[in-house]
Amino acid sequence: MKFVHMADMHFDIPFTVLNNRNKLGEKRRLEQREAFKKIIEYIKENNIDYLFIAGDLYENEYIRKSTIDYINNLFSEIPNTKVYITPGNHDPYINGSMYKTVKWSDNVKIFTNKVEMIENEDCNIYGFGFNDFYCGVSEVQDIVLENKDKINILITHGTLNGGTIEDMQYNPLNKTKLKQIGFDYVALGHIHKPDYNNEESQRIIYPGSPISMGFDELGKHGVIVGELTKEEIKLEFHPIDKKEFKEKEIDISNINSIEELIEKINELRLEENVFYKLILAGDKNFEININNLLKYINNENIIKIKNNTKLKINLEELAKEKSLKGLFVKEILEELNKENYDKETLDNVLEIGLEILNNNK
Query: Given a cut of 80, is residue 354 above it in pLDDT?
Result: no
Residues 6 or more apart from 25 whose CB is under 8 A from it?
14, 15, 16, 17, 18, 19
Show the DSSP H helices in the chain as ranges: 16-19, 24-45, 65-76, 98-101, 175-181, 258-266, 290-295, 315-319, 324-336, 343-359
- What are 306-344's pLDDT values in tens digits? 988 887 777 788 788 888 888 888 888 887 777 666 666
CA distance 89 to 86: 10
Mean pLDDT of 127-141: 94
The CATH classification of domain 2-239, taken from the options 3.60.21.10, 3.30.56.10, 3.40.50.720, 2.40.50.100: 3.60.21.10
Whole-number pLDDT of residue 193: 93
The whole-chain average pLDDT of the chain stands at: 91
CA distances (Å), origin 316, targets 287, 319, 332, 342, 357: 20, 5, 11, 19, 17
At residue 331, the pLDDT reads: 85
Alpha-carbon distances, residue 163 vs 158, 159, 160, 355 (angstroms): 13, 9, 9, 44
* Segment among 19-23, 123-127, 332-336 with least mean pLDDT: 19-23
**Within 13 Å of residue 213, how many CA atoms lie on the same side as its CB?**
19
At residue 361, does pLDDT exceed 60?
Answer: no
Q: 3-class DSSP state for residue 82?
A: strand
What is the share, in percent, of the chain residues with pLDDT greater than 70? 95
Q: What is the mean pLDDT of residues 201-229?
A: 93
Is residue 304 within 8 Å of 277, Cβ to Cβ? yes
pLDDT at 19: 64
Lowest average pLDDT, out of 48-52, 64-68, 121-125, 314-318, goes to: 314-318
DSSP 3-state of 260: helix
Q: Supply the pLDDT for residue 14.
A: 87
pLDDT, position 246: 93
Q: What is the pLDDT of residue 73?
A: 98
Q: Is the pLDDT of residue 167 over 70?
A: yes
Which pTM does this prediction carry?
A: 0.83
- 95-109 mean pLDDT: 97
- What does the pLDDT read at residue 350? 76
In the prediction, which pLDDT does 261 show? 95
CA distance 222 to 154: 20
pLDDT at 25: 79
Give the model's confidence band at 20: pLDDT under 50 very low, under 70 low, under 90 confident, else very high.
low
d(CA 95, CA 343): 44
Reported as a pLDDT band with limits 50, 70 and 90, residue 359 is low
Of how many residues is the chain composed?
361
